Amino acid sequence: MRMRRLVLSVNGTDHEVSVLPSDTLLDVLHDELGMADVRYGCGEGVCGTCTVLLDGEPVNGCLTLAVQATGRQVTTLRGLMGPGDAMHPLQECFLRHGASQCGFCTPGMILTALDLVQRGSRPSREDIRFALVGSLCRCTGYTKILDAIEEYADMVASEASRQASP
Amino acid sequence: MTAAEGPRQTGPVVESEAGPYRVVGRSPAHHDFVEKVKGSMQYAADWRMPGMLHGRVVRSPLPSARIAGIDTSAARALPGVVAVLTAADVPSNRVVEMASGGLAEFEVSMPVLAADRVRFVGEPVALVAAATQQIAHEAAELVAVDYEELPGVFDVESALADGAPTVHDVGNTLVTWQIECGAAAAALAAADVVVEGEYRSQHVEHAYLEPEAGVGWLENGVVTLRVSTQVIEHASTIARILRLPQNKVRVIAAYMGGGFGGKEDMTVEPYLALLVWHTRRPVRMIWDRQESLVASTKRHPFLMRYRTGATSDGTITAQEVEILGDAGAYPYLSPRVLFAGAACASGPYRVPNATITSTAVFTNNVPSSAFRGFGAMQVVLGHESQMDLLAERLGMSRTELRERNFLAKGDLLPTGEPLETSVAVGEAMHRAVALLGERASSSGPGKVVGRGVGCNRHPYGRAIWFRDSASAWLSLHADGTVLIRSGITDLGAGQAASLCQITAEVLGVALDDISIYIGDSALNPPAGGTFATRQLYMSGNATLQAARELRERMAPVAADLLGVAADDLVFADGRVQSASAAGDGAASVTLAELAVACERRAVSTAHLSTWRGESGSFDPRTKQGSTFPDYTYGAHAADVEVDLQTGQVRVLQYAACHDVGRAINPMRVEGQIQGAAMQGLGYALAEDMVIEDGYAQAALFANYLIPNAQDFPDVLVDIIESGEGKGPLGARGIGEPPIGNVAATIASAIHDAIGLRPGELPMTPERILRLLDERVSEMGRRALQR
């Protein structure tokens, strides 16, 4: 197979990389670009540790070919952070609630939850459970993750209603 | 002698164990959690070195076979391949485990790479190092191994039968433990009631989300491995394999992406070390998830037979327990797992006459070894099922029967050892039931609900004959910041963070002003591995002792600076001041000023301390002795709904309560309990690493379902703080204990719902339906007989 050069836009920065047509987005982000927040967990799209946002939608990096990401915006967990390593409010909720133990699932959890909360009205706890089915956690039992996401969803909802009222 | 010269039994107690505390008992988010939430934590697979090669293990596709020959020529010829290694390339090709788990007897060795015989599917046979991961995979496929298949044994009962094929020359019995007190057979014969039960548990996958991984390199002639491991002390074993001096192997533990016991034995380490040693280049090895499913160690399936006798008022008089554990093809930690099973087989109950036997049996299945709960969790299904059956037979309530038999402080275990700390299991049971609140009602026709309870006694700390110890090193810097060095490894439960909280409490330094270096066998003092729920107990005590000794050493300097007595000092908020004159206006010195003053007076502000755990012995001949330093007690309660048409069990409510002695960080304690309960729910109702004739049936992660966010309800938690643990400030260990209760609690609830006791795990819809069918046919038979 021949190597191909392509440009990947990751967290707002363009990276020129050489890839094989068979290289997954996970391979390129983790091994070529050194992004530790995109992780190999199963290679089957089951566990969610390689989750990234592709044009804002969560995808499994292990099931997406790198070439499929050309011309699209890739966002990893690190991409949510502000200047000076400032945490995104959802990250702060995770920290406050102790929603991370070993931390391996955390990027996938946060990116998946962010997409859910941003999609519309405040999701119920059951909606959040449903959205997280593709993101496995073996440490926390999920309760603290759900608590963290609910707090963030409340913050977003109250912000939205504040802006809606005159 | 100075404290740095040698170990001490315990440190002097300076402040009251009861507090009040400033940092302990709070739930601050700490360094590693911040990194994890930011996504910047560097796990084992995230390390890169210039010129790094990629390693791959070639594994046996057969459960039992002779190796007639290995041809590596095609693999070596592949462009990009740098090394292909076989058994002949391993300087010392054996890892030795004592069959009795440290109590002498015979030893069984395991080859690093199989030479002439393979004993399980997935056994390592050869190694490849190549320029890319892709080439390493291709080269591994090209290693041609000529196998002559041999007969194998795949379950414990067949393995113990006469004429069974032997897995090792010593036969198929790895070890048998016996605990005995009183005269169980006679007491059973004299009992008013006797209940019997047979219980079976399954192979279980750890399923940590981070697969086994690491990077190794040579640095100044030292083989250095940065890996995902619970135990950096394997460095000495790796040195023996390479025939290197022990100071020429260094193991650095990255923060783990989960371990649960599966990273307690070596995983990638010996293979990485061999490839690094032969190629003299950095090598990375990451096991595929699918490779990990097949070849990594599993939880022991137990076959447990119980006979319990009691008087008509519900007082237990005797118990006989026989446990067979499937060790798989090599010893690993099976002797110790089966010991823990025997030591906990009678649960948190008084049993005056007991005969307990546990046997680890070799089979040609993938090896079983450590997994959160470590033998002590499998037996909970046994002793708790017996309690429910006894309650049913006597027409008593389950909680009342348990209360009649709960152990209390000062009581003897069947091993003859007295319990030295409080046994709050009764309180835990009532609190767990209270958390559930109203009994749930059935959601429709054909659905029945039931409530169950499950109590346990789970050890923390290693088996007592290991004479366990842990060290910690602290230093106060001239700017008032503190450095902790500890060989502790961190599974994600906050092992390192807890040491920071304890240090902050004693030295009065802000958590943000503490840095901790962990998991490095060359640079940090040994802490022992992170397993056996031992690190808060061991390293927590070592750190507490080190901090107290350092404070005591600096106290006279501070007292002198302040003009007060050395025993009249408070270390808090980064300052030291007089306790009696405490207040905003009172004179004080900052920790930075104190550090500088100590330096001027040649008082060292760096301190190493070693803490020794309790020691004792167990005598296999008298079947009596000591087992573990102490136990953690807890109880769970659940409501379930059973669908009589489908056999599906839905968990409606789940609650857990444990006495943790003292919660150093309550949020993390709660997280441990919730996570362990969720793992336990998977074990109880779904997870099954089926191995048929030696072949794992789950080839994909998609075939092995661990609980997802939708499967089970939130786990409600209540924490008891008796203050009576043997850990720092009265804490007990909580890492493993809460996984033990779950299967028994769910079985109890199902029993309550359908009037039948499930005895085999996991309790799948098929098995529940089979139970219901048996009852229907039994009722039919009875009707015909009438």
Burial class (CB in 10 A: 0-12, 13-18, 19+), B65: buried
Chains A–B, number of C-beta pairs less than 8 Å apart: 167
Architecture in CATH of A4-79: Roll (3.10)
Helix (H) or strand (E) holding B191: none
Kindly report the nearest CA distance between residue A97 and chain B, in angstroms: 8
> B210 in contact with A at a CB cutoff of 8 Å?
yes
> B512 in contact with A at a CB cutoff of 8 Å?
no
**Residue holding tokens 């750190």?**
B543
Residue numbers of B between 421 and 480 with CB closer than 8 Å to A: none
Determine whether the interchain pair A104/B209 forms a contact, defined as Cβ–Cβ distance below 8 Å.
Answer: yes
Residue B20 neighbours by CB distance under 10 Å: 8
**Interface test with chain B among A42, A97, A102, by most B beta carbons within 10 Å:** A102
Hey, what long-range contacts does B239-247 have (CB within 8 A, 24 or more apart)?
Answer: B240/B92, B241/B90, B241/B91, B241/B92, B241/B93, B241/B95, B241/B112, B241/B270, B241/B273, B241/B274, B242/B91, B242/B92, B242/B273, B242/B274, B242/B277, B243/B91, B243/B92, B247/B222, B247/B522
Question: In sequence order, what DSSP letters do the residues of B320-366 get, joined into one string?
Answer: EEEEEEEEESS-TTHHHHHHHHHHHTTTTB--SEEEEEEEEEE-SSP
Residue B581: predicted pLDDT:
80
List helix spans (H) across B515-610: 535, 541-562, 591-600
Distance CA B52, CA B10 (A): 46
Cα dihedral B71, B73, B78, B79 sign: positive
Categorize the per-residue pLDDT at A2 as very low, low, confident or very high, splitting at 50, 70 and 90. Answer: confident
Copy the structure tokens of residue B566: 């050395």
Q: In sequence order, which residues have a C-beta less than 8 Å from that of residue B728 and are 6 or more positions away?
A: B502, B536, B537, B540, B541, B543, B544, B662, B664
* ipTM metric: 0.97
Residue B8: predicted pLDDT:
34
Q: Which residue of A has its CA nearest to B717?
A: A143
Phi, psi of B328 (to 5 degrees): 80, -155
Determine whether the interchain pair A41/B35 forms a contact, defined as Cβ–Cβ distance below 8 Å.
Answer: no
Comparing CA positions, the residue from B400, B408, B525, B391 lying closest to residue B457 is B408
Determine whether the interchain pair A44/B289 forms a contact, defined as Cβ–Cβ distance below 8 Å.
Answer: yes
Distances in Å between the alpha carbon of A25 and those of A52, A60, A79, B397? 9, 9, 16, 58
> A24 in contact with B at a CB cutoff of 8 Å?
no
Q: Which residues of B touch A113 (CB under 8 A)?
A: none
pLDDT digits (tens, 9 = 90+) for B665-706: 999 999 999 999 999 999 999 999 999 999 999 989 999 989
Comparing CA positions, the residue from B182, B721, B201 lying closest to residue B431 is B721
> B255 in contact with A at a CB cutoff of 8 Å?
yes
Q: Are strands A51-54 and A73-75 parallel, antiparallel or unpaired?
A: antiparallel
Comparing CA positions, the residue from B170, B662, B597 lying closest to residue B424 is B662
Kindly report the nearest CA distance between residue A166 and chain B, in angstroms: 36
Determine whether the interchain pair B45/A40 forms a contact, defined as Cβ–Cβ distance below 8 Å.
Answer: yes
Comparing CA positions, the residue from B607, B475, B502, B476 lying closest to residue B549 is B607
Domains B45-150+205-295 and B469-612 share a fold: no
**Residue holding tokens 């020129």?**
A16
In contact, B419 and B631? CB cutoff 8 Å: yes
CATH top-level class for B302-414+421-463+619-780?
A: alpha beta
Copy the structure tokens of residue B434: 């209270």
Phi, psi of B474 (to 5 degrees): -125, 145
Q: In sequence order, which residues have a C-beta less than 8 Å from that of residue B218 and are 6 or more positions away?
A: B224, B276, B277, B280, B281
Q: Which residues of A touch B491 (CB under 8 A)?
A: 102
Ranges for all domains in chain A classified under CATH 1.10.150.120: 83-164
Determine whether the interchain pair A44/B670 forms a contact, defined as Cβ–Cβ distance below 8 Å.
Answer: no
Q: Which residues of B touch A137 (CB under 8 A)?
A: 209, 709
Comparing CA positions, the residue from B314, B338, B316 lying closest to residue B326 is B338
Determine whether the interchain pair B257/A101 forms a contact, defined as Cβ–Cβ distance below 8 Å.
Answer: no
- Considering the four listed CATH numbers 3.60.9.10, 3.10.440.10, 3.40.50.620, 3.30.365.10, the one that applies to the domain covering B469-612 is 3.30.365.10
Q: Are strands A4-10 and A73-75 parallel, antiparallel or unpaired?
A: parallel
Question: In sequence order, what DSSP letters do the residues of B378-398 get, joined into one string?
Answer: HHHHHHHHHHHHHHHHHT--H
pLDDT digits (tens, 9 = 90+) for B514-548: 999 999 999 999 999 999 999 999 999 999 999 99
Residue numbers of B between 27 and 66 with CB closer than 8 Å to A: 27, 29, 32-43, 45-46, 48
SS3 B115: coil
The span from the first CA to the last CA of chain B, in angstroms, equals 85
Copy the structure tokens of residue B245: 């001096």
Comparing CA positions, the residue from B345, B336, B407 lying closest to residue B376 is B345
Residue B319: predicted pLDDT:
98
Q: Which residues of B touch A107 (CB under 8 A)?
A: 39
* Domain positions in chain B: 45-150+205-295, 302-414+421-463+619-780, 469-612
> CATH code for A83-164?
1.10.150.120
Distance CA B345, CA B358 (A): 9
Give Cα B302 to chain centroid, integer Å: 17
Q: Which fold has domain B45-150+205-295?
A: Aldehyde Oxidoreductase; domain 3 (3.90.1170)
In contact, B603 and B594? CB cutoff 8 Å: no
Residue B13: predicted pLDDT:
33
Q: In sequence order, which residues have a C-beta less than 8 Å from that of residue B206 and are 6 or more positions away?
A: A138, B258, B259, B260, B261, B262, B296, B297, B298, B299, B371, B372
* From A106, A137, A145, residue closest to B36, measured CB to CB: A106
Distances in Å between the alpha carbon of B688 and those of A145, B521, B705? 26, 36, 9
Residue numbers of chain B with a pLDDT score lower than 70: 1-19, 97-106, 582-584, 781, 784-786
Residue numbers of B between 749 and 768 with CB closer than 8 Å to A: none
Torsion of CA B626, B627, B632, B637, to 10 degrees: -120
* From B36, B289, B678, residue closest to A141, measured CB to CB: B678
* From A41, A101, A138, residue closest to B493, measured CB to CB: A101
* From A47, A96, A141, residue closest to B677, measured CB to CB: A141
